[in-house]
């Protein structure tokens, strides 16, 4: 067997072994990205709930833009009764409710209300 044939055969073998690995790595990367997007969307929904709860709290208690509710004060407005569980970031971020003039925020980068 000539050196060229051996080189071509080696190249084919390397390609055959590397391709499934590369495809698998690509799929893993895609799944991670999809999971990040799902978590960011879920967190965004939580932030919207916090924001709408703040607005309802402000209307009922005649609050001003500088007033800041606590999570306990917002609990009745989460739509699950007075003992509702506060929303939690799927990535473990910490929510800052902020004043009525501000949007609630999450400590995880990329999790925010637009
Ligand atoms: Zn978050």
Ligand 1 centroid to Cα of residue 92, in Å, is 7
Ligand 1 centroid to Cα of residue 96, in Å, is 10
Q: What is the per-residue pLDDT for 84?
A: 86
Q: What is the per-residue pLDDT for 24?
A: 94
Q: Please choose, from the candidates 25, 69, 63, the residue with its C-alpha nearest in 3D space to the C-alpha of residue 51.
A: 69
Does residue 57 belong to any structural domain of this protein? yes
Does residue 114 belong to any structural domain of this protein? no
Q: What is the per-residue pLDDT for 10?
A: 83
Q: What is the per-residue pLDDT for 17?
A: 87
Q: Is the dihedral of CA 22, 23, 29, 33 positive or negative?
A: positive
Domain residues for 66?
Answer: 3-106
Contacts 24+ apart (CB under 8 A), 70-74: 70/97, 71/95, 71/97, 74/50
Does residue 112 belong to any structural domain of this protein? no
Q: What is the per-residue pLDDT for 67?
A: 95
Does residue 61 belong to any structural domain of this protein? yes
Ligand 1 centroid to Cα of residue 113, in Å, is 10
Work out how many domains the chain is built from and give that number.
1
Ligand 1 centroid to Cα of residue 80, in Å, is 21
pLDDT less than 50: residues of the chain = none
Q: What is the per-residue pLDDT for 2?
A: 86
Does residue 111 belong to any structural domain of this protein? no
- Looking at residue 59, the DSSP 8-state letter turns out to be H
Does residue 33 belong to any structural domain of this protein? yes
Does residue 31 belong to any structural domain of this protein? yes
Q: What is the per-residue pLDDT for 7?
A: 85
């Amino acid at each position: 067997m000539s050196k060229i044939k051996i080189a071509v055969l080696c190249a084919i073998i390397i390609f055959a072994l590397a391709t499934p690995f590369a495809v698998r790595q690509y799929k893993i990367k895609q799944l991670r990205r999809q999971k990040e997007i799902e978590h960011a969307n879920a967190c965004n929904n939580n932030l919207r709930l916090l924001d709408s709860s703040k607005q309802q709290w402000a209307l009922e208690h005649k609050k001003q833009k500088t007033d800041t509710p606590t999570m306990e004060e917002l609990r009745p407005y989460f739509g699950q009764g007075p003992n509702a569980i506060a929303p939690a970031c799927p990535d473990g971020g910490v929510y800052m409710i902020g004043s009525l003039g501000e949007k609630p925020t999450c400590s995880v980068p990329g999790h925010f209300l637009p």
